[in-house]
Chains A and B, each alone.
Chain A
Amino acid sequence: MEKTLPKIEIIEKYCKGCHICVEFCPKDVLEMKGFYASVKNLEACIKCMQCELRCPDFAIKVITE
């Protein structure tokens, strides 16, 4: 079965660059690009939603089907 990839939306206006999403992602999907978090490797995402759950700034949304 083909793996469906989620859409990870990062709202830069809200992101304060705290690194929480990057550090607690178990699959190393995210990275810091300058001040903001950004998606590095979407293929590895397992939709665990840890980044969305932990982001204190409401800046990440993991949109799955």
Chain B
Amino acid sequence: MLRYFARRVLTLALSLLAASWIIFLIVELVPGDPAAFMLGTGAQPETLAALRQELGLNRPLPLRYAHWLTSLLQGDFGDSFTYKTPISQMIIDRLQVSFPLAIMALVLASAIAFPAGLFAASRRGRSGDLAVMGATQLGVAVPNFWFAMLLVLLFAVRLRWFPAGGFPGWSDPFGAIRSLLLPALALALPQSAILARILRSALIEAQQQDYIRTARAKGLSAGQTLRRHALRNAMVSVLTIMGLQFSFLLAGAIIIENVFFLPGLGRLIFQAINQRDLIVVQSSVLVLVIAVMTVTFLVDLAYAAIDPRLRK
């Protein structure tokens, strides 16, 4: 286990390093140079020269990357070009929306997927199974931002049960959760369809094992063996998928946050794109990538802890 752990940590570190390098290089691809891009076409040559100096663009590329990376490691993301405030603080503020949103979406996705998957597996091949599987086909095909718009139309515009957008802040916990509920549901739907399908196949596979036959021979009903034995064994693969889905939800929130005008990391990225604030874009994307890679890493570790066959 220790060797596996050490190898995974090394892989994570190398991946993060490569990720930072790739993100740094993508931003270098902007037409002209970052300073010209940020100031637009009407910029005075003096302003341009000053910003170039500030961004260190006069120095060679590898040196700039090294400087960027060492500042990042010290927690210094630089200052926003538009707001003149430290980016690290902006990102921390925004994560207080994006992170709870992803968690709520995952909880909702499981709340939908588990009953649906268990139901389908218990009625394999019959009409109930076909209905659930048909619904999941539809769920996978629905773009979450469109589902979000439909939710707003029904629950915010027509029924007025939830706000159509905005976020009151965590000082009002009830209001905060209320305004995150529709976005979380929109994010959760396609993921719950995927999760239900995976749970169903994992359950069906587990049900074909010998220990299920033994349990049935002992007198347990089909439903009892499904819930007590098959579900527990199916959980190994289902938990892995859930971990991966969490990182997917975190990244997927980018678009949903824009539908609901939530002040999360995704909205920050788009605002920064519109304001051509490349430094904020670069740092926010990097933080998101770090979060996603770290979650994937933790899932791998948890998986290896549960299933020793994977530690080879």
A binds B: no
